[in-house]
A and B are shown apart, each in its own frame.
Chain A
Amino acid sequence: KAGVTQTPRYLIKTRGQQVTLSCSPISGHRSVSWYQQTPGQGLQFLFEYFSETQRNKGNFPGRFSGRQFSNSRSEMNVSTLELGDSALYLCASSLALGEEETQYFGPGTRLLVL
């Protein structure tokens, strides 16, 4: 079974631009979560989607948004990029069938904002 895939793996943007990252979950998984990882703040939860609906959202500004498609693939978008948005963005998927859920992570997208 293929794991979680994320594209692109690396991205360089400049301040003010916007970016879209993609995540394809493990086949059959219905929940997709996004996390930001930086040296200063560590791992922080961005949001979680299930059946095309955002169920949970972390404490990030409105510039960070996401969506999920009917095939469970998810995208996250960051508008008006700032230098501080440079980070590793990790996507995780889970079956979402019960309470004891495990999230499986993709390799991440490394975003550098210049």
Chain B
Amino acid sequence: AQKVTQAQTEISVVEKEDVTLDCVYETRDTTYYLFWYKQPPSGELVFLIRRNSFDEQNEISGRYSWNFQKSTSSFNFTITASQVVDSAVYFCALSEAGDSNYQLIWGAGTKLIIKP
């Protein structure tokens, strides 16, 4: 069965510190997709990144970077030089190919608090 685990319920850091959010997934499919979304207090889920199972290249986008390792079934997210505006709940999600492609399986989320 598919499952996404975000073991960190809440993380609190001081502004400008680096922070890594962990995501571990389970799936039997060989083709699958991993996502990170940000949910600010307003409630709207904001798409951050999508990665397919065949692309293990790490990705960097500004202060954000993602480390995908199939060997450990992990897709971790790092924010460098964190800012107060990064405070939000971050969700990792999984979808599988085929008919289930449009069904996202979600982690429980990690609440990130950036203190000034």
Query: Chain B's interface: helix, strand, loop or mixed, by majority?
Result: mixed
Looking at chain A, what size class is its interface with the partner chain? 20 to 34
Instruction: Report Cα–Cα, A58/B106, bound state, in Å.
Output: 13
Are A45 and B104 in contact, with the CB atoms below 8 A?
Answer: yes
Q: Is B101 an interface residue (CB 8 A)?
A: yes
Are B102 and A55 in contact, with the CB atoms below 8 A?
Answer: yes
Residues of B within 8 A of A105 (CB): 37, 44-47
Are A104 and B47 in contact, with the CB atoms below 8 A?
Answer: yes
Q: Is B91 an interface residue (CB 8 A)?
A: yes
Are A33 and B102 in contact, with the CB atoms below 8 A?
Answer: yes
Are B33 and A100 in contact, with the CB atoms below 8 A?
Answer: yes
Are B101 and A101 in contact, with the CB atoms below 8 A?
Answer: yes
Which of B33, B37, B99 is within 8 Å of A56, CB to CB? B99
Q: Is B97 an interface residue (CB 8 A)?
A: yes
Residues of B within 8 A of A103 (CB): 47, 102, 104
Residues of B within 8 A of A99 (CB): 31, 33, 52, 97, 101
Are A107 and B109 in contact, with the CB atoms below 8 A?
Answer: no
Looking at chain B, what size class is its interface with the partner chain? 20 to 34
Are B44 and A107 in contact, with the CB atoms below 8 A?
Answer: yes
Instruction: Report Cα–Cα, A107/B43, bound state, in Å.
Output: 6
Q: Is A48 an interface residue (CB 8 A)?
A: yes
Nearest CB of chain A from residue B116's CB, rounded to whole Å? 27
Are A90 and B45 in contact, with the CB atoms below 8 A?
Answer: yes
Nearest CB of chain A from residue B91's CB, rounded to whole Å? 7
Q: Interface on B for A, CB 8 Å cutoff?
A: 31, 33, 35, 37, 42-47, 50, 52, 91, 93, 95, 97, 99-109
Q: Can you list 11 A-B contacts (CB < 8 A)?
A: A33-B103, A43-B106, A45-B104, A45-B105, A48-B102, A56-B100, A92-B45, A94-B102, A99-B33, A102-B50, A103-B47
